[in-house]
Structure 1
Amino acid sequence: MSTIAAVLAATPSPSPTSAVPDVDVTPGVVGFIAIALVAVATILLIVDMTRRIRRTRYRAEIRERLESESRGDAPADGPAEPGRTDVGDDTERG
C-alpha cells in the first residue's frame, strides 16, 4: 500500500492546458452580432415603453379635462387650444 501511495504522490496530476493562447480567444463576429441585436432590441423596447407611458398620461389628462368640463368646472390652466392637451415641458418633444 505504501508503494502505491508513493507512486501516486510522485506523479503530478496533469493540469488542463489550452492549445490556443488566452489572448487569441475572442467572441468574434458572431458575438458582436449577438450583442448588437440585444442592444437594438433594448433600444426599441425603451422607445416603445416611453411611447406607451406618454400615451397613458395623455389619456388620463384628457379624461380629467372631459370630466371637469362635464361638471361645468373651468379648466385649471385657462383656455387651451382645441384638440390639444397642455402638458409639461418634459413631454413637449413630439
Structure 2
Amino acid sequence: MRTYLFQKEICLNVGVENLARGKVHPTSALLDSGANGIFIDQVWAKQIGLPLVKLDMSIPVYNIDGTLNAGGCITHKYSFVVEYQGHRE
C-alpha cells in the first residue's frame, strides 16, 4: 500500500439541485477520485430543505486504515442533480 500526502485538496464550485423544489443551491465539493458515491452533509441537506429518506439499515463508513469514521454511519439517502460548468449528473 502506498501513502500519499497531499498538500492541497481540490474543491469544485458546484450546484446541487433540490429536485422536489427545482432550486439549485451553490456549494463547494471536495474532489475524491476514490469515492464510490456522492456524499453530502446531513445538517446542510436539512438546512436547504432536501427531503431525506431514512434507510432501513444504517451503512457503516470506514476510513482507509479500516477504522470506523467518526462522522458516523450513512442513515439517509436522497436523489439530486449535481451541476458543474454546465454538466449535470
Q: Which has the higher contact order (CA 8 A, sep 6+)?
A: 2
When normalised by structure 1's length, the TM-score is 0.20
Larger Rg: 1
Q: Counting strand residues as a fraction of each chain, which structure ranks higher?
A: 2
TM-score where L is the length of structure 2: 0.21
Higher helix share: 1
